[in-house]
Amino acid sequence: MNIFEGSRRIAKAIAGVIIAGFVITAAVDTPHVPFFYAYDENNALQSVDECRSSSDRFYPKIAGRPDAFAVVCGYGSGPEEIQVPDDELTRIDKLRTDKKLSDLGRNFSILGAILLAGWALTWGIGWIVRGFMGIPRRQDTKS
């Protein structure tokens, strides 16, 4: 029985599960990007950078984008869904795509760090066990 080969297989299986989890999470993740709006004096919805105060805002869905929410400033309540112009929908899609790509890059950097740490841990444990058992480096047995 070769415990080192078994340990390497277990480490590869764990790495595979971690990679699968990260890939599935990246595929189904919907980035949260706040879209701020306020009504102007003509009661028309206008895009703003952010709300001036944290009170008096509501969070309707954006028509045409069921998984995107807006933050409408200046009112405590309003419709459950708001209409925005087509050019605003294009801007929303671009911002969400940029955020998803940014999140993807960060998540794969984290994945790389986790896999590297797992490899270092596996290698370190193997090095220690081989040392106690008197087995030369890069070999699984004494002979």
Same domain, 72 and 91: no
Tokens 């070999």 locate to 139
Whether residue 140 sits in one domain with residue 91: yes
Spatial distance between the Cα atoms of 34 and 47, rounded to a whole number of angstroms: 11
Q: Mean pLDDT score of the chain, rounded to an integer? A: 87
Q: Are residues 44 and 70 in the same domain?
A: yes
Verify that 55 and 97 share a domain, yes or no. Answer: no
| Total number of domains constituting the chain | 2
**CA dist list (Å): 57 to 38, 39, 52, 110, 122:** 9, 11, 10, 35, 52
User: Stretch 14-20: mean pLDDT, rounded?
Assistant: 96
Longest dimension (CA), the chain: 87
Domain hosting residue 49, numbered range = 32-84
**Averaged over 40-65, what is the pLDDT?**
82
Cβ-Cβ contacts under 8 Å for 39 (sequence gap 6 or more): 45, 46, 72, 74, 75
Residues 120 and 92 occupy one common structural domain: yes
Give tens-digit pLDDT for 66-97: 778 888 888 777 888 888 888 888 888 898 88
